[in-house]
Structures are given as structure tokens and as C-alpha cells.
Structure 1
Amino acid sequence: MRLAEAPPSVSVIIVSRARAAALRLCLTGVARLNYPSYEIILVADPEGLRVAQDMGLAGEIKTVAYDTANISAARNLGIGEAAGEIVAFIDDDAVPEPLWLTHLAAPFADPEVMTTGGYVLGRNGISFQWKARSIDRAARTADIHMSDEIRATVLHPTRERAIKTEGTNMAVRRDLLADMGGFDPAFRFYLDESDLNLRLAASGHATAIVPLAQVHHGYAASARRRANRAPRDLHQIGASLAVFLRKHCPESEQATRLTEEIRAQDARLIACLIDGRLEPRDIRRLRRSLRAGIDDGQRRAIAPLLPLSRAACGFRAFASLSTGSHRVIFGPLSKRKELKEQAKSCAESGGTVSLFIFSHTALFHRIRFTNEGYWLQWGGLFGRSQRNGPIFKIWRLASRARAEAKRIAGARGLAEF
């Protein structure tokens, strides 16, 4: 009888700068993944490295000190430390579902697959920010209809369109990525993974889109955006787009595409002004920063990418804090304190915990991962979770908890209860 091949070893790379609180939550989630062979590589500023130290992880993970605002260069440092067969990327303001790596790495059993990408959930923890998309040589994206929202689907690029993966939820064969020179440091932020997608497409490499490989992306505040997602600065957006077009788009089409982006960003700014997230003086400043960024990107040096070295220290397997056991806890809002204490205790014992707290209302549901290491979903017993569901429906507590557990079971690994 032929034995099943062991899952590939995975190096999880996290880049962090000036977002200590978000990083702590990200590391809490990554440290509890249900996967047999992974290492964690943190490329971070001094503040981020202190977070790992304070959490007691500094001796268990690989750390790289880096305090420059260039996510591509930071990721390349991480790739240089990676010893896994696969490298997976997640942003510091994201948290993976427990089976994230299990699903994201599985398609690599097919030798044709060179990269994989999963789905990204937004702030409410239920609606998707991004699912499957493609991108063309002018950085225009388009949704890809997925006939199967459960199993991975292997997709092939064309000469004009690449399969897009999101930098906060993607994986690539380590040796291929290193041989390609990793990410282009000319992209300090934005379109860095899209540039990689186009380069992979040029060689005809297949990508698997994996619906159940899910991460929750919080859009944490940064030097580029506020906590309410209003932009603080558009310089790197303009610069990266200009670099991307110089590398991939016919010169005759570049001016039209830049004008299109200026108009799109202007519409975004006006929308933020109307809903009160920006003031008139912000609009003028941000318009100037976008145009200055475009000028920067049109002058920025684009150097050939050299192969990246392999980690000298070898693979540092991380012992997950999760035992692999799963527990569903649920109850009414009136007992939330006791329920949270129960969930915290179970998580401290290594369990993967999903806590459902229901009020006797029709409030919409939200999901978040907590610093205590458990998943919390709260909302009205009669309210909707998925935003296309009925606004009001009569439920009993147990049947509602069972239905919600079933809805997330594939990504989280929950069994019937």
C-alpha cells in the first residue's frame, strides 16, 4: 500500500512595522495553526521584535531586524531566512483561520502548481474583501467566477492576464521564488505581489485558488491610512503604479492608465469627504501626494533581480500552541462573562475554541479573533451572519450555534456537536 506523502514544510513570513498591537494578534493566531511542519519568520522593526520577545516567542521563531518602509525588501529578507519547501505570506494586521496552512499548502501536491492564494475576510469577519481575481498588464483587476467554493481550483494565466494572489494570503514554492529574486524592492508598498504574479505568468506557472484558506484582514492604521481606512498619503500608490506600468504595460497605454487611476483615487477621496472621514484640506494634500508619487515612480531605478540565498540555520519547526482539539461554546449575552472565561481557559489548554454569544435581537453578526486565543462570534439570535441572508429568522440557541459552526467548519476544522 502506498503511504500518503507528508505535507510540505512551510515558512510563514510576517513583515511588521509600527503596528505592535496588530502584530501581537497576528502572532497569537499564527502560533495556533493546525499544521504539522511550519516555521515562523518575523521581519520587523524594534517595536515588533519586542512584541515577539514579550510573548515568549523570540527563541521559538526566526527574527530579522528591519526598520525601513519597503515591504518587498523586508519579504526578501524573510525568504532568505526561509528553509521550508513553501513560503507563505500574511500581513501583520491579519489573522489566519486554524486550517489556513492545511488548505493553502495542499495544492502543492500537484507539481504543476507553483503558487496558491486564499480568500480574505474583511473587518466584520464574515464578508469577503477579496476572493478570486486576475490582473492585467495595466494593473486592472477582474473577479474570477469560482464554480467550486470549497475545493482548490488550479488556474492558468494567459499572456495578458495573471492569476492574482493577495500579499496577506499567498504561498509560493520557496526555491522558485528565490531563483526569481523574490519581490522587486522598487515596489516599496502596493502592487508588489501583483508584479510577482505577472512574472510568474510570463513563465506560464499555474496558481491554485483555495477558498477555504482564509485569513481575517483588519486594515490596521499605518502611515498610509487611518483606522477608518481613509488615506493619509497616496505617494506610494502612485509610485508603485508607475513602476508597474513601466515594467509590464505597453508605453503607448501608460498615460491613459495613469489618468484613469488619478480619477479613481479622486472619486475615492470625494467619497471620504462626503462621509466625513476627510476634510477639504486633506483632499488637496492627497492629490499632490499621488501626483508626486507618480513622478517618483517614473524616475525610480528598476534593477535586475538576483537570486536569493538559502537560510544557513536550517528549518526551525514551530511547536503549535494548539493541540488540534476543537470546542464550540455558546450561550446568551447575559452570560457573556462566564462564557468568555470558559473559552479563555479552553484556549489556554490548547483547544481551538469557537465562542458564539447571542443577544435576543436581530443585530448583524461579527467575528474576531481575541488576544486570549479564541474565536468570538456575536450578534442577534435572530439576525443575519452572511450579509445576503434573511434579516430576521426565528432560531433556538442550540440550533443557531450549530448552523453557524457548520458555516465556518471547513476553514476552522469544526466537527458536528
Structure 2
Amino acid sequence: MSVQPVSVVIVSRHRPDELRKCLRSLQFQTHQNFEVIVVADPTSLAAVEAVGLQDQVKTQLFDEANISAARNVGIGLAAGEVVAFIDDDAIAEPTWLSRLTALFQTHDIAAAAGFVRSRNGLSYRWRGDHILPWGELRRFIADGLSIYGPEEEHPVLTIGANCTFRRDALVEIGGFDPNFRMGLDDADVNVSLTAKGYCTAIIPDAQVQHVPAASAYRTNRQVPLSLRENGASFGWWFKKRDRPTAEFERIRSALRDGFLTLRLNRGDIEPRDMARLLAGLDQGFADGQTRQPIVREIPPVVASFRRFSPILNGPHTVLRGHFSARESLFTEARALAKQGRVVTVFLFSRTTLYHKRWFHPDGFWVQSGGVFGKSYRSDPLFRRFNYDARVKREVADLAQTRELDRV
């Protein structure tokens, strides 16, 4: 079976450092037949040149705060049969694209999404959501590789940070709705595809790590600065789907009593901030209700497929040592990464420090923490390990997405 051509679209706006890391992670993909399309503002486009990938990447200038319109630009440039999306502040595991797209060759699906790891690289940020009629998401955990059809009670979300679609299906529905400038853009596509009778898959092992970066709407710790555009997306959702506006109170109450109250209790916001944010949400909802339908049509592809050349070469490698050996281990990892090796550096101390995983800008992964420390929420605060046993446990876990074959 030939490897299906895939177009990977990255929308980036004013985040060149995050984009560079995202592009670097794509150089280690096991999938060997894909192109990369970057739709971005001038500073982010400059990052493509900074990493020397300007001859391998399709680029398009776009400096408008509208994720849906930007994604449609990317679809228009996509020459692959399948179009994948990854956020500019996400890092792809080496097996991400192979696993995310393989099902399209064997099953009749139009969309798929993979699990998303959180900031610490260990816990999960997303493992499945149902989309309720009023736009609220109801979380669930996909039980292994799962396919959901239109007979489901509620459509299944494919989260925008880690998703893929048949290009023909996206073209059929006109791509993403530009009235969803931020938020609900992915949910709207999923509802539209489900209404057409298409199936959606969730593929747990197709993973990315999402480290949310700062934007005009939030800090890098996901503390909201404004909810007006979120409210506008809900306003348009309610108008587009003819939902009674009284249902918006469900959204407002859930946000106020859940997310915002949590941030208030943590000290991230003050009571006056909550009042301001909720007022912005209400104003945005009213704005969204005034929006009018936008005629959408994805133009035929005129650009040829521009194959991205992964540098993956040789077996995946684990380097290990104490924090004191950090610099020498990083030097070795950097050299191996330049050769195209997928490298994970374990930096363990004889402490109970919590573990975290992250991607180094020079092209290798790092996991740091205490030999006796906690990796997952289900772990005890202290667990007796010798060094070799701890490394063995973490290698076994990483094999899920990095196919490590030696230590």
C-alpha cells in the first residue's frame, strides 16, 4: 500500500519561537510523504527562514485574527488527499502523522483526532469531547481507537490542535466558517460533517503536546484576558443553529462557576476581573448574533505537492544521567538530533521532584524529575525505585509514541 500524501497546515500569528519548535518536531516524523503549509504573519514567516526550511515549506502571508479564515487559506494550498492541522504551540510526537492518517486508507472516515498531552508532557489535556446542541463540550475518554458515526447522540469533536480531514470532505462543506474567529471553529466543522453522514475517529496514540502560548486573549498560563471573541462565537453558533438565546445561560454559568471561579481561587484573577470578563462574554454574544452568513468556497488546488523531507535516520535513542550531567548530555543529544535521530534525555535526581517532559529547540526531548518522584496523577507522592528501574518504566511509557527500541 502506498503512503498517502498528507498536507500539514500550521496557522501562526506573532509566535515565531513556538512555530520554530513545532516545525523542528515535524522533521522527526516517521511518515514520509507529507507537505507543510504555514499560514502566518510576517514575524512567524521569518521563523521558517530562520530554521532553513523556506524551500521545503509552502508559506502564505495572513495577519488577521481569524483562525477559520487562516485555515481555509491553508486548505486552498493543500495538495494532499488528507489535510492535518497542528497548532503552532504544539509539539508532534515522531509517530503522530503516521498514526493520525493511516486509518484514512483502510476506513471510510472523514475526520480524525489524536490525544493531546498538557504542559507537563505527561497528563492529558484532551481525550475526547461530545458537542452538545448549544455548543457546550461534554468530556469523555475514548476507549482505544474508536470510530463514531452519525448515529451517535451527539457529534464527536476533533480538537484543532491535533486533527485531520479528507480534503474533499472539507471542500464539500466549504471549509471552516470565518464567523468563528476564535473558538467553536472545529466543533462547527464536526457538526457539519456529521450532518453529511460522515464518520469520525479518535486515535489515542497519535499524540501531540500542547503548551499554550500567550496571545491577545490569554497569558501563557491560560489566564483569560478577554472573553469577547469567545462570546461572539457562541452568539453566531446560536444564530446559525437557531438555538434559543436562553440556553446561553448554560454556557455563562458553567464558565463562571467552573473555569473562572477556579482561576479566582488560585489568585490568577480578581473579582473585578471576573465581572469584566463576563461582561465581555455578554457583549461578544450580542455581537455574534448580528453576524451574517459568509459564502465560502475552497478554490481548486493550483500549487503542486511540495514534499517535506524528514531527517529521521536510525534508531530512537535514550540518554540518561543526573542533573549534573545536563550539559554533556545535551551536547550529545544535539549532535544526534542533527543526524536525524529521535533522542530522549532522562535527567533524574535522587529526589521526589515531579516529572515533566518537554521538547528542546535544538531537536530533542527531555524528561526531568526525581527518581522517586511522581509522573502521573495516579502515582503516589513517593515511590521507591532504583535508577535503572525508573528508567525502564519511563522508556516503556514513551514507547507508546516514540517506538524506542534500545536504551
TM-score range, shorter chain: over 0.9
**Structure 1: how far apart are the matches of 2:314 and 2:61?**
32
Structure 1's 274 and 291: CA in aligned 2 closer, same or farther, altered over 3 A? same
Match of 2:353 in 1: 363
Secondary structure, aligned partner of 1:142: strand
* Structure 1: gaps (5+ residues): none
- Within a 5 Å distance, the mapping from 1:400-415 to structure 2 comes to 400-415=390-405
Kindly indicate whether the alpha-carbon contact (under 8 Å) linking 2:315 and 2:405 is maintained by their aligned counterparts in 1: no
| Paired amino acid for 1:383 | G
Corresponding position: 1:143 with 2:139? yes
- The yes-or-no answer on 1:114 pairing with 2:104 is no
Whether the aligned pair in 1 keeps the contact of 2:169 and 2:193 (CA below 8 Å) is no
| Residue in structure 1 matching 2:267, options 276, 283, 287 | 276
Partners of 1:273 and 1:131 in 2: CA distance: 26
Match among 167, 175, 185 for residue 178 of structure 2:
185
For each residue in 1:104-154, what CA deviation from the matched residue of structure 2 results, as whole angstroms up to 9, or x when unmatched? 011112341111110011000000011022112211222334333xxx222
Of 290, 298, 304 in structure 2, the residue corresponding to residue 299 of structure 1 is 290
Residue deviations 1:372-414 (CA, integer Å, cap 9, x gap): 1000000000112122123222222222112101102121121
User: In the alignment, which residue of structure 2 is the partner of 1:354?
Assistant: 344
Q: In the alignment, is the contact (CA less than 8 A) between 1:136 and 1:160 conserved in 2? A: no
> Which residue, 295, 298, 309 being the options, matches 1:319?
309
1:416 deviates by 4.2
Q: Which residue of 2 aligns with 1:38?
A: 34
Which amino acid counterpart does residue 65 of structure 1 have in structure 2?
L
1:218 matched to 2:211: yes
Q: Tell me the distance in 2 between the aligned counterparts of 1:255 and 1:238.
A: 12
Q: Give, as a single letter, the amino acid of the residue that structure 2 aligns with 1:188.
A: R
Equivalent residue, structure 2, for 1:239: 232
8 Å contact kept, 1:228–1:277: no
Match of residue 67, structure 1, among 57, 63, 67:
63
Describe how 1:366-377 pairs up with structure 2 within 5 A.
366-377=356-367
Query: In 2 relative to 1, CA 159–405 (structure 1 residues): closer, same or farther, beyond 3 Å?
Result: closer
Instruction: Look up the equivalent residue of 1:315 and give its one-letter code.
Output: F
The structure-2 alpha-carbon separation of the partners of 1:202 and 1:359, relative to structure 1 and needing over 3 Å to count, comes to same
> What amino acid maps onto 2:269 in structure 1?
L
TM-score (norm 2): 0.96
Q: 4+ residue stretches of structure 1 with deviation over 4 A? A: none
1:111, 1:272 → 2: CA distance? Answer: 42
Residue 396 of structure 2 aligns with an amino acid whose one-letter code is K
- CA distance in 1 between partners of 2:226 and 2:143 (Å): 38
Structure 2 distance, partners of 1:176, 1:106, is: 17
Tell which deviates more after alignment, 72-81 or 129-138. 129-138
In the alignment, is the contact (CA less than 8 A) between 1:358 and 1:378 conserved in 2?
yes
Contact 2:82–2:101, Cα closer than 8 Å, also in 1: yes
Is the 2:238–2:289 contact (alpha carbons within 8 Å) kept by the matching residues of 1?
Answer: no
Q: Within 2, Cα distance between the matches of 1:400 and 1:199?
A: 47
Q: Specify the alignment match of 2:384 in structure 1.
A: 394
Aligned to 2:75: 79
| Change beyond 3 A, Cα 1:328–1:301 | same
Shift of 1:285: 2.5
Q: Select 2:251's aligned residue among 261, 276, 292.
A: 261
User: SS state of the match for residue 24, structure 1?
Assistant: helix
Superposed CA RMSD:
1.5
Tell me the alpha carbon deviations over residues 39-81 of structure 1, each in whole angstroms, 9 at most, x when there is no partner: 0000000010011111111121000000000000000000000
Q: Deviations over 1:314-370 (max 9, x none)?
A: 100011122253111111122122111111111111100011110100111100011
Mapped contact 1:235–1:293 kept (Cα < 8 A): yes
Look up the equivalent residue of 1:365 and give its one-letter code: H
| Mapped pair 1:153 → 2:146 | yes
Secondary structure at the aligned position of 1:53 is classed as helix
Moved more, 266-275 or 56-65: 266-275
For residue 159 of structure 1, report the CA deviation from its aligned partner: 6.5
Within 2, Cα distance between the matches of 1:68 and 1:175? 26
Q: Is the 8 A contact 2:238 2:245 kept in 1?
A: no
The DSSP-based 3-state class of the residue aligned with 2:156 is: strand
| AA aligned opposite 1:186 | N
Say if 1:39 and 1:61, in contact at 8 Å, map to a contact too. yes
SS in 2 for 1:164: coil
Tell whether the 8 Å contact from 1:121 to 1:129 is kept in structure 2 after alignment: yes
When structure 1 is superposed on structure 2, of 381-390 and 290-299 the one drifting more is 381-390
Q: In the superposition, relative to structure 1, how do residues 297 and 21 fare at CA in structure 2: closer, same or farther (>3 Å)?
A: same
**1:101 counterpart = 2:101:** no
